[in-house]
Amino acid sequence: MDVLWLWRTKLGSRDKIDSTDSHSPESPSLSSRSSLLASDVGLIVRAEHPNPFLVLGPHRSEEEPGVAIRVFQPQAEQVTILWGNHDEEHPAMRIDPAGFYEAIIPLAGGAPAAETSPSHYRLRITEVSGQTYETYDPYAFPPLLTDYDLYLLGEGTHFQNYEKLGAHVREVSGVRGVHFGVWAPNAMRVSVVGDFNRWDGRVNPMRARPTGVWEIFLPGMGEGDLYKFEIRSRTGEMLTLKSDPYGFAAEVRPKSSSVVAAIDGHKWEDAEWMSQRAHFDWQRAPISICELHFGSWRRGPDGRWLTYTEMADELIPYIKQMGYTHIELLPLTEHPLDASWGYQTIGYFAVTSRYGSPHEFMDFVDRCHQAGIGVLFDWTPGHFPRDAHGLAYFDGTYLYEHADPRRGSHPDWGTLIFNYGRNEVQNFLLSNALFWLDKYHIDGLRVDAVASMLYLDYSRRPGEWLPNQFGGRENLEAIAFLKRMNEVVHARHPGVLTVAEESTAWPAVSRPTYVGGLGFDLKWNMGWMNDTLRYFSLDPIHRKFHHGELTFSMLYAFNENFVLPLSHDEVVHGKRSLLAKMPGDDWSKFANLRLLFGYFFSHPGKKLLFMGSELAPWSEWRENASLDWNLLEFPPHQGIQRLVTDLNHLYRREPALHEVEFDWPGFQWLEVHDADASVLAFIRRGRRPEDFLVIVCNFTPVIREDYRVGVPERGFYQEIMNTDSSFYGGSNVGNGGGVAADPVPWNDQESSIKLILPPLSALIFEPKRD
């Protein structure tokens, strides 16, 4: 790269600069040195120049043959150019008292030096304080984003734009530094600011590129440096300081600077897991998820958060012991408010620094995979907070959000809603989804608040929302985005799961897009959850009048690929813990909770259980404290933990409980009408005819003797689960390990078994094979 190339790149066809000086008209240095630079110098000094690379850095000298190197350093007392391999010293002249310097480097015969590159010279800067340092000139380096990059960014199809925008440690022309890129199409000027330039936005203004992208390479910067973008809008709004939307790390709240982080280079040791995941037959596999909030699962003795490394040491063995197949992490993207639990995201590409570094989180995921545990990630493309350093009003305009609050403001959470119809915003979110799968090997995305994305009138009164182009309430842009997200994720990462938290009757959420669905793999069954918890909160004497609240779920159980969620949302905000929801005295509460878990694990659908539910806490979950592990000192709580452990392992071991969860061949009613006794009985089947289980649930505290239930074949039925067992804290009423079938037709079956139904219990029977 020679000086002539630099001249052509930086000046193009422009040979002269407007001579009008708007900053220092009486400056003798300007008139004597280079009056042609006056207006541009003024714009540089005021940080208003639309393209500082046209002025700063190396340029062809107009006064004499050679290279004019121009530098703006407000804190500099003296600037010297160290030229060439021998560091020839060329003192720069101050041509504006604000700190604008220029040096003319003569070249032999007026010809450019062919070997000149951005690293051919350095700047020696002596500050007013007396400190002296040397650095390469940021304005000597060419743009790094290609025209193809810019085209894809504008089109919204740059699915790895996180490799281009944000902050990336690079080596350019042998010089180490950081390349910065940001999308701010309505900015008049964008600068990178940080400790390295005293947070002075005049020092490092960026290069404007087509499609509204800005970029600059800052030599000498490296991993761990703090930075933000200072943005001056074309609208005349005041300067704003913004965190990097594509930043890989950030300071711990309440600080809000982005942090340069190099996230490549982790030595992954999960190749076997990743290879198997690509062929994962998730529909027929057991999926039992422990939903987890990282900061409150367990804390250190001083109440501090555990780090990613400490959590790997403690959490992974516990999850293995409990029998879960996956963990689902409440959002670990960077967020300013602890009480939001991570759902109000600021740094969509930054794993929160509360618990450690990006590489430490990679190691956490890696160790989960090596232990056979999948990791799902809570993802929040539905809304973002209004914090001044975030995405809101990013470049002085409504860039990521809608301008009209009837489309852009979320009434429930006080947050902002993405403009899904804008290519660049869609690209931001699509690439973010892919980023976690690509860089962190995440096994699935649980998409938060899908219902709020689908409906324009979600949680709004008449007059508070705008209809779509056809006059309807459907958010067509959000629907198109969700479909596209699912298509791209599944095409690029086979075996990865996408899960919708969707609480309405929107059809085909978990059906492929080519048949008109949204393309998710799984959908949370909020109807089952609400009906079931409402039923269990009733005094058993009244349950016979609400029998349909249990049986209703089977009318739609196979309309979607459902996950049964007993999530964090059900144990906060005055809803009470699961144990506290149960009616009656303490014995009844624990018995009801055991019954709930037995019914939960035997009902069709993949499973999700919030952390700590196995401890049977009396109080609601708190994000600012550890789970109540001390409860395990008491036998009733120990019993619940043992029960959840055994149910998890039973669910994984028995094909009848997990192989056919999304179609009628996996389920058959035996007793559905006995509302007076509040008893349900049904069969769960696997893919092979011989794989079936009989489940009987008694939802009252009454012991029912000689209760007959039909079974599909003769033989001995072993009682493989009894939630009333004394091992789990129950009264130990049961069937002595099993019963033999009688040739008595019952429940449309040719044979039947006569049972003792323990109080508030779930029983599971398996035909004994020779």
Q: What is the DSSP letter of 384?
A: B
Asked if residue 406 has pLDDT above 90, the reply is yes
Q: What is the DSSP letter of 435?
A: H
Structure tokens at 467: 């209809």
Asked if residue 532 has pLDDT above 50, the reply is yes
Residue 400 corresponds to which amino acid?
Y
What are residue 459's phi and psi, to 5 degrees? 60, 30
Residue bearing tokens 């002595």: 736
Active site residue 40: no
Residue 239's pLDDT is 86
Asked if residue 754 has pLDDT above 80, the reply is yes
CA distance 471 to 476: 11
CA distance 189 to 244: 15
- For residue 160, count CB atoms less than 10 angstroms from its CB and return exposed for 0-12, middle for 13-18, buried for 19 or more: middle
Residue 17: partners with Cβ closer than 8 Å, 6 or more residues away: 36, 37, 39, 40, 54, 55
Structure tokens at 744: 């008595």
Catalytic residue among 501, 502, 521, 570: 501
CA distance 240 to 232: 7
What are residue 153's phi and psi, to 5 degrees? -65, -45
Backbone region of residue 423 per phi and psi (left: phi > 0; alpha: psi in -120 to 50; beta: other values): alpha
CA distance 421 to 479: 10
Cα angle value 544/589/729 (rounded, 5°): 115
Residue 106's pLDDT is 86
**126-161: pLDDT as tens digits:** 999 889 999 999 999 999 999 999 999 999 999 999
What are residue 580's phi and psi, to 5 degrees? -70, -20
Cα–Cα separations (whole angstroms), residue 690 to 32, 687, 712, 713: 98, 9, 10, 10
Residue 301's pLDDT is 87
β-pairing, 562-566 with 522-524? parallel
Asked if residue 32 has pLDDT above 70, the reply is no
Q: What is the mean pLDDT of the chain?
A: 92
Residue 61: partners with Cβ closer than 8 Å, 6 or more residues away: 67, 68, 104
Q: pLDDT tier at 85 (50, 70, 90 boundaries)?
A: confident
Residue 434: partners with Cβ closer than 8 Å, 6 or more residues away: 159, 160, 488, 489, 492, 493
Asked if residue 8 has pLDDT above 60, the reply is no
β-pairing, 76-83 with 88-91? antiparallel
Task: List the alpha helices (DSSP H) in 205-323.
Answer: 271-277, 308-322
Among the listed residues 461, 701, 520, 695, the one whose alpha carbon sits nearest the alpha carbon of residue 599: 695
Residue 14's pLDDT is 34
Asked if residue 658 has pLDDT above 50, the reply is yes
Structure tokens at 669: 């009613």
**584-620: pLDDT as tens digits:** 999 999 999 999 999 999 999 999 999 999 999 999 9
Tell me if residue 636 falls in helix, strand or coil.
helix
Residue 27's pLDDT is 37
Structure tokens at 91: 């003192």
Which residues are bridge partners to 59 per DSSP?
Answer: 68
**342-367: pLDDT as tens digits:** 999 999 999 999 999 999 999 999 99
Active site residue 501: yes
- For residue 748, count CB atoms less than 10 angstroms from its CB and return exposed for 0-12, middle for 13-18, buried for 19 or more: exposed
Residue 376: partners with Cβ closer than 8 Å, 6 or more residues away: 289, 326, 327, 328, 329, 442, 443, 444, 445, 446, 497, 499
**201-253: pLDDT as tens digits:** 999 999 999 889 999 999 999 999 999 999 999 887 678 999 999 999 999 99
Residue 204's pLDDT is 97
Length of the chain: 770
Helix axes 586-602, 526-536, angle to 10 degrees: 150
Q: pLDDT tier at 115 (50, 70, 90 boundaries)?
A: very low
CA distance 71 to 464: 53
Residue 710: count of CB within 10 angstroms of its CB: 20
Residue 40 contacts residue 48 (beta carbons within 8 Å): no
Q: What is the pTM of this model?
A: 0.92
> How many Å is the maximal CA-CA distance in the chain?
114
Residue 727: count of CB within 10 angstroms of its CB: 13
What would the mean pLDDT of 246-275 be, rounded to a whole number? 96
What would the mean pLDDT of 525-548 be, rounded to a whole number? 97
Residue 116's pLDDT is 56
Asked if residue 33 has pLDDT above 60, the reply is no
Catalytic residue among 448, 654, 719, 766: 448
CA distance 501 to 523: 6
Residue 9's pLDDT is 39
Residue 147 corresponds to which amino acid?
D
CA distance 579 to 585: 11
CA distance 163 to 480: 25
What would the mean pLDDT of 509-518 be, rounded to a whole number? 97
**624-647: pLDDT as tens digits:** 999 999 999 999 999 999 999 999
CA distance 496 to 489: 8
Q: pLDDT tier at 37 (50, 70, 90 boundaries)?
A: low
Tell me if residue 552 falls in helix, strand or coil.
helix
Residue 419 contacts residue 488 (beta carbons within 8 Å): no
In the chain, the percentage of residues whose pLDDT exceeds 90 is 87
CA distance 165 to 237: 24
What would the mean pLDDT of 264-288 be, rounded to a whole number? 96
**Exposure string over 334-356, b if 16+ CB within 10 A, otherwise e:** bbbeeebbbbbbbbbbbbbbbbb
**671-724: pLDDT as tens digits:** 999 999 999 999 999 999 999 999 999 999 999 999 999 999 999 999 999 999
Residue 102 contacts residue 70 (beta carbons within 8 Å): yes
Secondary structure (DSSP) of 323-335: T-SEEEEPP-EE-
More confident position, 112 or 96:
96
What would the mean pLDDT of 397-408 be, rounded to a whole number? 94
